[in-house]
Every structure is written in C-alpha cells, then in structure tokens.
Amino acid sequence: MKPRWLTFLFFAALTAPFWRLGTPLIEVDDARYAEVPREMLVLHDWVTPHLDNMDYVEKPPMWYWLAATSYEVFGVSEAAARLPLALLALLGFLLTYWLGSWLFSPRTGMTAAIFLNASALYFFLSHYMTLDMALSVFMFGSVAMILRALLHPKDARWAAPAAWAFAGLAFLSKGLIALVFPAGWVFFMALIYPETWRKMLVFFRPLGIALFVLIVAPWFVLMEKQHPGFFHFFFVDQHFKRFLTMKYERDQPWFFFFWVIPATLLPVTPAVLAAVPKSWRALKSSPKEAALWIWVAMIVIFFSISHSKLATYALPVFPTLALLGAAATEKPLPVWTKRVSSGLGALLLAALAASFFIPAARGFEAQFSLLAQILGDATIAAAGASLLAFGIGLPAAVSLGAGGLLAWGLALGTMNVAASFLSVKDVAAVITREYKPGDQIDVYDTYFHGLPFYTGHWVDRIFNWTGELAYAKKNPANAGRFGYIEDISRFPLPGRRVFLVFKNSQIKFVKSLVKPGRASFESFGPYELAEFPGQKAVK
C-alpha cells in the first residue's frame, strides 16, 4: 500500500512543469524556440522554419508545430510558448511512472516520476525551451514500448507500432539519433541476451514501419523539394560533421558527462549512486535493470566521443536514471550512500555560508534585487537541506524529491525576478514604445532572439555575427541583412531612427565607432540600447 504522503508528492510533482509558464523569455535558446514558431504563423509557412524572416532549417519542425499550434489556440505569449514544453515534460513524467510501475512496482514508479521532476536538468528544461525535452520524451516513449514488447510479448501487437510512432516523433524533433539510439540499444541487448534476437522480429512488421515513414517522410520530402540540397545540409552538416568535427565549437573533454550528469541530477544524485554498484550484478540477476543501464551507458559513451557536447544532451538518460535510483531506494541503502549525501549537502551549505564573506560573490549578487538574492540563497539552502535530510534517513521521495522540487521552484522564482538580466524584454519594451514605421532595429556581435518576439518587428541588420544563421547568410537574398562594423560609423541615417542592441561588454568599442552626440545609450542589465535619431534629409 502506498502511503498518502507519496501520493501527495506525486501529484505535486506532476504540476511542476506548469509553474511560472509566463517567465520572460531567456536568451538564447528559450527565446529562439519561442520565436521560430511565431514566425510560422506570421509567414503562414508550416513547412520551412524561419528565424528573423530567414530560412532556419537546422532542426526538424516538431517543436515548432507544437508551439505554433499553442499560439493559434491561446495567442502569442510566453505562457503559450511554454505550454507544449510543460505537456511534454508531463508526458515524460507519466511514462516514467508507467514503466516503473510494471517494471518494478507502483511505488517505485511513483518515486521515479518524483525523482525525474525533482532533478535539476529535467526541471530546468521543462521551463527553458530547447529541442532536448521533445527528443528525450519521445525517445523514452519508444524505449518504454520496446521494453514492453520484449518483456510482455502478448502486448507486442500494440507496443511495437507505438515504439515506431514514438521514434518517428523523436526523429521529427531532432533527427537521426532518434532512430540510431533505440536501434543501437536493442542491438546491444541482443548481444548480451541472445534470446532477444527472436523477439526483435516483432519490430519488423509493416504497421510499425509504415507509421514511422508516414510521420517522418512527408516533411523531409517537401523540404528537399523546396530547398534542393537540404538532405546534405541536414544529415551531413548537422549530424555527421557535428559529431565528427569541431566545426560547431562545442568540443569538451571526454569525461564531460561524467561530472555533468551527477551535478545536474542533484539532489537525486545519491539515490542514483546507490544503484551503480548493482549494475554489474544486474547483467545476470535483473535483465530489466541491465536494459536501463545499457541505455545509459550507450548514450554517455556516444556523446563522450562526440566533438559536440552540451549539458542538455544528457537529458535522454534522466528518466532511466530516475527509475534506477528509485528502485535502489526501495531496498536498504549502503551506509556510504547516506554519507555521500550528507557530505554533498554540507558542502552546498558551507559554500553558501562562505559566499557571504567573499567580496566577488557579494559583488555579483549586488547586481540583482534583494528578492532575487534571497531566492537564490534559498535555492542553495533547500538543495543542501534536501541532501542532508536524505543522509539522516528521511524517505528518499520526501528528502530528495520534495527537497528538489522546493529548491528548483525557488530557482525559477529567482529567474523570474532577475528576468532583466536574462531577457531582452525590457529593451524590446522601449523599442516598441518609440518605434515608428520605417525605423530600423539592428544588433551587434550577437543576435537577440527575443527582439522580434516582443517588438513584432524583424531585426533589420546583424553586424559582426552569423551563428545559427549561417545557412540563411548563404542565400543571396539575405545579403543586405548582414552588415559590417564600419556601417555603424555611418549612423544616424537620413529620415529613419536606428535602434542598435548589443551586450554592454562591447560598449566601449561601439562608442568608439560613433561620433559624440550622435546617439543616446541606455543599459538594461547586461544589454545596451543605442538609439540614433534620424537625420533630417538634406534638400
């Protein structure tokens, strides 16, 4: 029988993805993945994604379709942008509960779901828009259905097609790895458990393959037809070159994920560590646990040898790690686990206490409001107290689960209060208030994705930056959208006001390009707005 407090925590955790949906958009990815679907509506083009009215075809369209549909129903807003993200996180939560319930026990399933939403990275990415949540949830759905088909062959008639459908949705979320990972996972399981080869035949039935093709093929065919060479750009440049080369400048040491995963699992990390010693024994004693560990190992090894590494790439292993950690806490835990948890908790609290005596730390905090400082300190305190509570013997779901939800909920409040340092919303509000038809909005040394979202106007020119618009820049039609540094020295322009937005770390250089008295400057946290009044036309 499940205790009432576990049921209460389960439903509290279930609501976590919906907390503070209306937080201002954070640069960079959060704002980008709100803006691209907005442009789908503005341009009435649901095939080719656009960014700042230029082709942006680096990623498939699943997320854009979900967010654009939300805009159609609820109107364009931050909350409408994040609603599909919250629903995806909820789906991952429910899939974790479902898989844990029949793979282990209903109580383990509930604890695992709580752990998932209480882990730092999953909680953060359920509120910060990237494509990793959609990829991870749909791919985990495919994994869950594959396990169901393999371990309960009678259910393969619906589980196998569902696995293909989930894989198709994941493919449309981020591409080829959505098929490579599940296929590789089943292959490695079959090497360890030869009896799996016979069971794999169920995945080659026509219905499942047809579902995958029907989900994936239409968009890719349309894109290649409308943009000849798209296949090469998408699969070669965005997949193989990203993995094999340092073209995208995201290389990290091979051990990157071996510290990122424990850090971003907090405060659930000690529970997962408790499951690690059982991993080798599980290969013989518990194939179901071994299957989960194979999934984790495969993804960690794959991204560890890749030349493109971001912390968010670890998200696909979080549901399986939550399951393994929850299963470990259902049994007596080794003493060292609690000691590690207590040590981590004490370390966090000690770091918080020490920060009050470090001038650099206090100087950094002084940039934020008092409320943001208090909430930030409370976040660290809650995470540390959560680990200490687990160390002294409180139930894992209460100490780690509830503690994590409290800590990251406070962190979400901190982000909301400190939004002026994370979002260009305040800058955009000034531009919107003063903008008149014919005025020009420019950016220097980066691209601020929230500007078109909040102002409703494209960024006219981008100086000294290409970034993710490299594909668009190759199009001759966009030649005038990318400017040169010396063009700034020609401001102001006859008859039109120019708004130039840049990071205030560049203010000395920008001012060196502008003649005295030609522009006014205003700071918004880390952002700077230079306003050039239009010159009167010479008759």
Query: Is residue 368's pLDDT more than 90?
Result: no
- What is the SS3 assignment for 52? coil
Mean pLDDT for the stretch of residues 413-418: 90
The radius of gyration of the chain's CA atoms, rounded to the nearest angstrom, is 25
Beta bridge partners of residue 501, listed in sequence order: 443, 529
Residue 281: what pLDDT? 66
DSSP characters for 107-171?
HHHHHHHHHHHHSHHHHHHTTS--SHHHHHHHHHHHHHHHHHHHH-GGGHHHHHHHHHHHHHHHH
Q: What is the pLDDT of residue 193?
A: 82
Stronger pLDDT, 134 or 280, i.e. the higher one: 134
Cα distance between residue 407 and residue 99, in whole Å = 27
Q: Which residue has the higher pLDDT, 117 or 306?
A: 117
The single residue listed with the structure tokens 């290409």 is 466
Distance CA 525, CA 335 (A): 47
Q: What does the alpha-carbon distance between residue 531 and residue 518 come to, in Å, rounded to a whole number?
A: 9
Q: How confident is the model at residue 539 (pLDDT cuts 50, 70, 90)?
A: very low
Check if the beta carbon of residue 111 is closer than 8 Å to that of residue 156. Answer: no
Q: What is the pLDDT of residue 130?
A: 95
Over residues 38-75, the pLDDT tens digits come to: 999 999 999 999 999 999 998 999 999 999 999 999 99
Nearest C-alpha neighbor of 257 from the set 385, 365, 121, 81: 121
Computed from CA positions of residues 503, 509, 513, 517, in that sequence, does the dihedral angle turn out positive or negative? positive
Check whether the bond before 213 is cis (ω within 30° of 0): no
Model confidence at 492: pLDDT above 50: yes
Q: Which amino acid is at 188?
A: F
CB 289 within 8 A of CB 239: no
Average pLDDT estimate for 436-453: 95
> Which residues have CB under 8 Å from 111's CB, separation 6+?
6, 100, 326, 329, 330, 396, 397, 401
The tens digit of pLDDT for each residue in 71-128 reads 999 999 999 999 999 999 999 999 999 999 999 999 999 999 999 999 999 999 999 9
Handedness of CA 111, 118, 287, 179 (dihedral sign): positive
Task: Tell me the pTM.
Answer: 0.95
Spatial contact of 127 and 19, defined as CB atoms under 8 Å apart: yes
| Nearest Cα residue to 340 out of 388, 383, 295 | 388
Helix/strand/coil for 233: helix
Residue with tokens 């490299």: 470
Report the chain's mean pLDDT, rounded to a whole number.
Answer: 91
Residues forming beta bridges with residue 441, ordered by sequence position: 499
pLDDT over 90 (residue 144): yes
Q: What is the pLDDT of residue 538?
A: 44
Return the amino acid letter for 32: R
Mean pLDDT of the 455-467 span: 93
Percent of the chain at pLDDT above 90? 71
**Which residue shows structure tokens 């994370």?**
422
Q: How far apart are CA 255 and CA 206, in angstroms?
A: 41
Nearest-angstrom CA–CA distance, 246 and 150: 39
331: exposed, middle or buried (C-beta count within 10 Å: 0-12, 13-18, 19+)? exposed
The token duo for 157 is 């008639």
Provide mean pLDDT across the span 489-500. 89
pLDDT confidence of residue 60: 95
Is the predicted pLDDT of residue 361 greater than 70, yes or no?
no
Tokens read off for 514: 């502008």
| pLDDT(353) > 50 | yes
**Between residues 269 and 196, which one has the greater pLDDT?**
269
